[in-house]
Amino acid sequence: MMALAELDTGRTAAAPAPLLSVRELSIDFVTRRGSVRALDRVSFEMAPGEVLGLVGESGAGKSLSGNAIIGLIDPPGRISGGEIHLEGQRIDNLAPAEMRRLRGRSLAAIFQDPLTSLDPLMRIGEQLTETILTHLPMSRREARGRALELLKAVGIPAPELRIEHYPHQFSGGMRQRVVIALALSAAPKLIIADEPTTALDVSIQAQIITLLKQMCREQGTAILLVTHDMGVIAETADRVAVMYAGRLIEVGPVEEVLRAPRHVYTAGLIGSIPSLTQRRERLVQIDGAMPRPGAVPSGCPFAPRCPKRIDKCSERPELMAFGNSQAACWRAGEEHFYA
């Protein structure tokens, strides 16, 4: 398994300024029965060039967090609190035209289904060239040259030939590589990768993960990797942030969180992964289901499913620091409480 980046809000004066800072972000959806809180006071930071994995069950708020950063929250959803800063500039309150200029140039996205990101009626080369011309001061000839370089960089064979092909002429794995080339076309500072390997077979997943890490290392691009797969996090990220019911419940370096999780839910996620080195009679099962938005307990959101709950769990725990990690659990400081 791979490692994930640290999420430490207590930075020292010598620490570099964060590339991305999400502060107390809340998102509500307006329904006939009133406003429903889907994301509740989420805060985290990312450094330039790091890979931060955002993990949790479906509906935990992972994709919602990524969409908020890239400005894709549409009615009836709305940001109801908090701020998002990119390179020191607040971006959550930008006008739509300003946000469009920012997308692609400083921010880019890779989504689960590459066909949703590619125009089926345009050749791959045209899509890459138009994106490059939109954001970079280049001639059309220079833009086409950059498009060829990008296709070669992401491992598309015979790029001089394939640049004239349409999306349907590529396999799923090759289409995802083209989407990564599109995301990198204007050399963005941050990429939101939302389940970028879920629709691919295992061998292609490994190739895409290796490619993302290589791009991160060579171009200094930071990646927010949104996934439900703790194995992908372990193989890709520097730091991991675990979400549950719209809240951030644990953050820390990947190796530290995998070795000694501080939250019962995180321990359950890790325990549900088959191991090649440890023999287990059976995998861990987390009983129950995540609460619906609008029905989240006022205290710890995981308490109704938690086998380790205590009376104090009726109160909401905030993220508390434990070494390089943080956890929102009243029992996080107990040694081996999760065993």
Residue at which a domain ends, from 169, 187, 205: 187
Cα–Cα dist 161/196, whole Å: 25
Same domain, 49 and 161: no
Residue at which a domain ends, from 187, 214, 241: 187
Check whether the bond before 76 is cis (ω within 30° of 0): yes
CA angle 256, 180, 86 (to 5 degrees): 65
Strand boundaries in the chain, DSSP class E = 20-31, 34-46, 51-55, 77-86, 89-90, 107-110, 190-194, 222-227, 239-244, 247-253, 320-322, 325-327
Tell me what pLDDT residue 28 has. Answer: 96
Cα–Cα dist 303/288, whole Å: 11
- Which strands form 320-322's sheet, in the order they lie side by side? 107-110, 190-194, 222-227, 51-55, 239-244, 247-253, 325-327, 320-322
Element (H, E) at 106: none
- Greatest Cα pair distance in the chain: 67
Q: Which residues of 137-146 are buried (b: 16+ CB within 10 A; e: fewer)?
A: eeeeeebbeb
Q: Tell me if 26 sits within 8 A of 41, measured CB to CB.
A: yes
Q: Which pTM was predicted?
A: 0.87
Taking the CA atoms of 295, 299, 302 and 306 in sequence, report the sign of the dihedral they define. Answer: negative
Tell me what pLDDT residue 336 has. Answer: 55
Same domain, 181 and 193: no
Same domain, 162 and 218: no
Same domain, 63 and 201: yes
Tell me what pLDDT residue 13 has. Answer: 45
Tell me what pLDDT residue 117 has. Answer: 82
Same domain, 233 and 333: yes
Same domain, 203 and 181: no
Report the Cα 4 to chain-centroid distance in Å. 11
Tell me what pLDDT residue 4 has. Answer: 35
Report the Cα 339 to chain-centroid distance in Å. 28
Taking the CA atoms of 243, 244, 250 and 255 in sequence, report the sign of the dihedral they define. Answer: negative
Cα–Cα dist 293/1, whole Å: 32
Residues contacting residue 279 through CB under 8 Å, at least 6 positions apart:
none
Same domain, 181 and 201: no
Could you count the other beta carbons within 10 Å of the beta carbon of residue 94?
A: 16
Tell me what pLDDT residue 229 has. Answer: 83
Same domain, 99 and 217: yes
Same domain, 247 and 285: yes
Same domain, 86 and 131: no
Tell me what pLDDT residue 239 has. Answer: 96
Same domain, 133 and 89: no
Q: How many domains does the chain have?
A: 2
Tell me what pLDDT residue 270 has. Answer: 86
Token pair of 69 as six digits: 């950063």
Q: Residue 56 maps to which CATH number?
A: 3.40.50.300
Tell me what pLDDT residue 281 has. Answer: 67
Q: How does pLDDT run along the chain (339 residues), one tens digit per residue?
A: 343 333 444 444 456 689 999 999 999 999 888 899 999 999 999 999 899 999 988 889 999 999 999 999 988 999 999 999 999 999 999 998 899 888 878 999 988 877 778 999 999 999 999 999 988 999 999 999 999 999 998 889 999 999 999 999 998 889 988 998 998 888 899 999 998 877 677 777 788 888 888 877 887 889 999 998 888 888 889 999 999 999 999 999 999 999 899 999 998 888 877 665 666 666 677 888 899 888 899 899 999 999 889 999 999 999 999 989 999 999 988 765 554
Residue at which a domain ends, from 187, 209, 239: 187
Range of the domain at 168: 115-187
- Which strands form 89-90's sheet, in the order they lie side by side? 34-46, 20-31, 77-86, 89-90
Same domain, 182 and 194: no
